[in-house]
Amino acid sequence: MSEHELRDELKSPAEPLLPIEKKLIGWSLGIGVALLVLLAIINHFLPVS
């Protein structure tokens, strides 16, 4: 890919976020935060010996 092609491609109009992408982002963050909270609770009740 030449520099010219790369520049033109990266300047092309933005594609809007599809509902499935919003779902992917939302579910990832939701599950991620929930798991981190769960792990933090486990961490609290099972301290390092």
Partner 1 sequence: MTEAVLTPTASGARRLGEDGLAVIVGVGVLILALVSLAGPDLLGWAVTTSVWTDPAKALGAVSKAYADLGGAGALATTYVALLVVLSAGVAALGAEARNFAVAFTVVFVIAYASWFVGSWAHIAAVTPADQAKFGVSWSLRLTNEGGYIVALIAGLVVANAFPRFADWLKEAIRPELYIKIAIVLLGAFIAVTAAGKLTLASSLLLRGVAAIVEAYLIYWAVVYFIARKWFGFSREWAAPLASGVSICGVAAAIATGGAIRARPQVPVLVSSLVVVFAVVEVLILPFLAQTFLSSQPLVAAAWIGLAVKTDGAAVAAGGITESLVLAKAAAEGINYQPGWLIAVTTTVKVFIDVFIGVWAFILAYIWTNHINVKPDAEKAKLSEIWARFPKFVLGFIVTFVAGLALALGGAGPKLAAAVGEANTFRVIFFILTFFSIGVLTDFRKLWREGLGKLAAVYLVSLFGFVIWVGLIISWLFFAGVKPPLVG
Instruction: Kindly list the residues in this chain that would bind partner 1 in the complex (CB under 8 A).
Output: 1, 3-4, 6-7, 9-10, 12-15, 17-18, 20-21, 24-26, 28-29, 31-33, 35-36, 39-40, 42-43, 46, 48-49
Q: In the numeric block, which tokens belong to residue 24?
A: 């992917």
| Minimum distance from residue 30 beta carbon to partner 1 (Å) | 9
User: Where do the H-state alpha helices sit in 1-49?
Assistant: 3-10, 19-45
For residues 16 and 24, what is the distance between their CA atoms, to the nearest angstrom? 14
